[in-house]
Structures are given as C-alpha cells and as structure tokens.
Amino acid sequence: MSMSRRSVLKRGAGAVAAMFLPPLPACAAPATQAGLIRKPIPSTKEMLPVIGLGSAGTFNLRPDSPDAAAAKEVMRLFRELGGKVIDTAPTYQRSELFIGETIRELGIGESLFLATKVNVGDAGKEAAGQQMENSLRVFGRKSVDLIQVWNLGGSIRALSSATLAEHLEVLAEWKKSGRIRYLGITTSRDPQYADTEAAMKAYPLDFVQLDYSIGDRVPEERLLPLAQERGIAVLTNRPFTTGNLFGRVEGKALPAWAEEFDCTSWAQFFLKFVVSHPAVTCAIPATSNPRHLRDNMGAGLGRLPDAAMRVRMAGHFATL
C-alpha cells in the first residue's frame, strides 16, 4: 500500500498542500468552527472527530525498531491535529503494547478515545476478563473508552453464538462498573455480515466496527442502514480496502469538482466518501507514515460531500 500511495501523493493534484496542512491546537474546535468535523455517538451524543487512527499492521514495533520514531511521530501529530480515536487489539501482535508505551511517553493517554478488543474464543469469561485487564495495564488507565468483541468472538469463518454472548456479558459487566464506557463488535469481511446483522439486532450495542470503502460498498446494503435504525455508532476499518484503491488512481488527477468539498488528495477523496455516509461515525485508517497521517487528517477538515456528490464520486471512481 505505501508504495502505490507514495506514487499517488507525488502525482495527484494537491498532494503538496495535503502534506503541509497547518497544525491544529491539541483541543480541536467544534465542527462549526475551523477544526475537525465531528459526529455524535448515537447512544450518548458524545462527539468524535470523523478521522481516527487504526493500528493493524502498522504499530507492531519495539521501541528500538528503526521504524519506531516515525510511528511515535504519527501518534504525536495525530493528537496535535485534534485526533482522538485510536483503535487497536491485543491480537495485533505488539501494536497495543506499542501504543500504550507511546501514549504514556507522550503524556496523551487521558486525552484520547482508546478503543481495543477482546477475543479469547471459547476460553471463557475469566480469560476474557484477564485479556481486558491486561489492556488497561498496557494503556496505564483505570478504564478504557471502548472494548469490542473482535470478529464476533471467533474468526472470520468459524463463529459460535455462545462465545459472542459470553464476551458481551463480560463487557456489559465492565460497562456497568465503569471500567469501559462503550461496548461493541467488529468484523472486517463479508463472510461475517449475516452474523453481524443478527448480533446488531439481538444485543444493545454502542458501536459496530466494519470494513467500508468506495471500492467495497456492500455494507451500504444492510449493515449501515441497520446501524442508523438501531442507533449504533459505526467505526470503519479498511477505508482504502487493502490499499488497492491507490493503484486504481495512480497517475490520475483528482476531478476538478473535488474542491467543492475541500478535497486535495485521493486519500481525502476516499476518506470523505466513507465518513460522509450518514451512518458512519469515524474512519480509522492505519498508517505509520507522518506524511500520510497529515494527509488523512485533512479529510476531516472543511466540507463533506452531500448525497448527490457521493453518487457523483462513486460514479467517477467506477470509470477509473
């Protein structure tokens, strides 16, 4: 993904401007001012910036890794630009630990909306609780904002409704005791969509995390409308799919009409499409590249496309 994105940033219209967006104060202004666009969590109306930060495949680093300095700069810059939502998981190898180490080093842990996950398969409620306790220790916090049942408590192709119910029971207990503020579920592939839909109907969820992009619009059919109907906040992973969106647009200029919604790069084009869907609360693109992070955060500034413009964007992308 990084190679094709680098090519696009060199060739795409407005790339230089996107790399040098002016810094924002650490406490970003409301959406009605010049700061990051925010959307509400339906269950509480708490406002979150529409661009967050994922960690799958990017923060699996040790402090002495040659890539650690850039990754730390990504997190520092993310908060400086007004970002809040960082999503990770104990199953992302060392990513959760690296985030915990970095936010403690930077002293920003309490100012972030931290989301992580739990999934111990059929190991039971005690094992789930132990995994969650470890996440709290990693973050250096007494509570965490959101814990989600990763892959519905199983794997993409092997699910058990019993393990999902068990995981959610533990999360409900933690929410009642104040150790988490929100609970949810995640998926990232359509083999799980039917089970995700059933879980969204069966359980009182604050969040659902799913994959959604201009190149993968299947969630528009049932999951996103259901989230609106049920008042469930939506985090979107894989907003660039697996990075192949950039290959589609390499060497191609942005359409001139992209300036109508304050878009200066293809990354912003893809992200603004995602977060402008009325069901989507926040997109969580993953990067360990400070230039890419600054570009991504630009998608949370200015205007978002309206419904008619979203149709135009999708139609244009289909021709590329």
pLDDT digits (tens, 9 = 90+) for 271-309: 999 999 999 999 999 999 999 999 999 999 999 999 999
pLDDT tops 70 at residue 42:
yes
pLDDT digits (tens, 9 = 90+) for 132-162: 999 999 999 999 999 999 999 876 566 666 7
Written as one letter, the residue type at 124 is: G
d(CA 60, CA 250): 28
In a domain, 12, yes or no: no
- Quote the domain boundaries for residue 91: 2-6+37-318
Structural domain total, the chain: 1
d(CA 215, CA 274): 10
Model pLDDT, residue 73: 98
Model pLDDT, residue 15: 37
Model pLDDT, residue 17: 35
In a domain, 24, yes or no: no
pLDDT digits (tens, 9 = 90+) for 100-128: 999 999 999 999 999 999 999 889 999 99
Mean pLDDT of 60-75: 96
In a domain, 19, yes or no: no
3-state helix, strand, coil in the chain (%, to 5): 45, 15, 40
In a domain, 156, yes or no: yes
Model pLDDT, residue 235: 98
Q: How far is CA 5 from the centre of its chain?
A: 19
In a domain, 172, yes or no: yes
Question: What is the CATH classification number for the domain harbouring 196?
Answer: 3.20.20.100
d(CA 317, CA 112): 34
